[in-house]
Structure 1
């Protein structure tokens, strides 16, 4: 079957639909459909930028590789924030079998919008309840500030190993992709040095995430200073520390048990000796006489 182009009316807006060539079942996604930014070049997400008061436009592509028509519901991400700024040309879209439809949408930036990144998403749901979210990276023009803090560092034992827990907080107005260095230095030398590695995906402004690092071989006996340092583009930098004291509780328990046994034995010997000294004198036992300062 060749490709053909046709227009599908949807309210006051026109949705462009292109019929796809027949494809073997293996070429289809498990659910049989896909939602992604439209265009000749594949984009993992939408990126839009504009000043407060501007109106930005783009198109969402809905691809139905199944053998039956599908009906989709399209909307901006729920809740407050930039998701409420999104308006789609049609809220409900019917896409025939083996067809791709493009849905225009607009982002109206409020006149009083704060500069910086305002993450949002386009949410797509089919008639069976399957859902996709296509990210929208929206940047409002103005002064940009990259700021990052590390908070609530702690270390906990876990069955012979240890777990380092910490929070990363985006204190600026730009989306960050933090990289983290974890280091532990003890009184007996360096215990852990984990080089810079990605801590998460995108960290939007004002968001907090909690991360953990497994420490397979912590020291058995030492006092360790654990430092977590995070960096990101734009000069964002933060460091926080925690003190971890490693004590071999098994050895301490044996030592305590041995000390208790020694003390108990000492008291037992004292009691036996005292009992022997206080025993009554039996008849026929030799009696010692004590003469104190007696003169004839």
Structure 2
């Protein structure tokens, strides 16, 4: 639904909606977040972020509440960050919140008529007394959406399995990552059940790592990452590494020889199994 932008004078006139702050401990500091009762997707604890959805050209209105439970006034500075910060217009960039009151700061989000469908995240940042509090503005522009994800730069090094996740679509994804590593000698070396990662906005790249401290002393390992996300995204990527732990009785030649022996043993076992299967087939034909 299209909404009209409020004029700046009216916005400024609505800036303060004062009232008693919630009961808090004396040590609690000021907070900033979505005003109660507005927008969509509220939960039992209120709105953890702003969620807005509409077609290109829509103008949304919402309110950021700043609560000061302390006994002294606080001056809070506001700004926007992210690629879509330019779409957000705040009624004021600086707000003085009296002691034990709340200040409501209206703002608008204007979606350009040329905006592409999909998710366009932004962030409102409130700063005072040397600290910041960030509130997400999750904006979805109506239209065809594409969920796509890639797993890149997988490598095993320094007790870590490093990798990157890249959101190649136009919707925000919540990836789930499962990890498994198998060795030539030791079978399954590592298994991690799928765990949920932080949301990944369209076009974003996240550099991540899985801790793997109990790596084998002597083996060639292959790690496999399986990444899934709703709706219907599934990607896999692998990396290999050779582990040789040097010691008094094992030099370079010994380590290489051991790995070659392991590989040779695998070949011998494979050939022996194939020969056994061939003999069994010939006996069946004779019978």
TM-score, normalization by structure 1: 0.74
Given candidates 230, 233, 237, the residue that maps to 2:234 is: 237
* Structure of greater Rg: 1
Structure 1: runs of 5+ lacking an equivalent: 1-8, 257-296
Shift in CA distance, 47/27, structure 1 to aligned 2, threshold 3 Å = farther
- Match for residue 181 of structure 2 among 162, 174, 184: 184
Q: Tell me what 1:83 maps to.
A: 85
Are residues 1:144 and 2:145 paired?
yes
Matched residue, 1:36: 33
Within the candidate set 210, 215, 221, 2:212 is matched to 215
Question: Which TM-score applies when normalising by structure 2?
Answer: 0.76
- Provide structure 2 residue ranges, at least 5 long, that are not aligned to the other structure: 1-8, 38-44, 255-287
Q: Match of 2:243?
A: 246
Residue 274 (structure 2) aligns with: none
Residue 195 (structure 2) aligned to one of 184, 194, 197: 197
SS at match of 1:222: strand
CA–CA distance in 2 between the matches of 1:149 and 1:121?
A: 25
Render the CA deviation track for 1:243-276: whole Å, top value 9, x for unaligned: 11122332432866xxxxxxxxxxxxxxxxxxxx
2:100 pairs, out of 92, 98, 103, with 98
Deviation, 1:75, is 2.7
Contact 1:28 1:65 in 2 (8 A): no
CA distance in 2, matches of 1:48, 1:129: 30
Which whole-Å deviations, capped at 9, do the CAs of 1:155-196 have from their partners, x for residues lacking one?
12x4xxx21111111111111111111111222322222111
Match of 1:259 in 2: none
After TM superposition, give the deviation of residue 23 of structure 1 in Å.
Answer: 4.6
Measure, in 2, the Cα distance between the counterparts of 1:23 and 1:63: 11
* Distance change (3 Å), C-alpha of 1:132 and 1:22: closer
Deviation per CA, 1:121-142: give whole Å up to 9, x if none.
Answer: 111123x343221111111111
Q: How far does the alpha carbon of each residue in 1:30-74 deviate from its partner, in whole angstroms, 9 at most, with x for none?
A: xx2100100156111111111111101111111011112222222
User: Which whole-Å CA distance do the structure 1 matches of 2:124 and 2:253 have between them?
Assistant: 64
Report the Cα offset of residue 10 of structure 1.
7.9
What CA distance in whole angstroms lies between the structure 2 residues aligned with 1:241 and 1:133? 36
Q: Quick one: structure 1 residues 182 and 197, their matched pair in 2 at CA, closer, same or farther if it must change by over 3 Å?
A: same
The aligned counterpart of 1:130 is 131
* Total equivalences in the alignment: 237
Q: Distance in 1 between matches of 2:229 and 2:110?
A: 29
Find the aligned partners of 1:110 and 1:22 in 2 and give their Cα distance.
38
SS of aligned partner of 1:142? coil
User: Where has structure 1 moved over 4 Å in runs of 4 or more?
Assistant: 9-12, 21-24
Question: In 2, Cα distance between the equivalents of 1:22 and 1:181?
Answer: 42
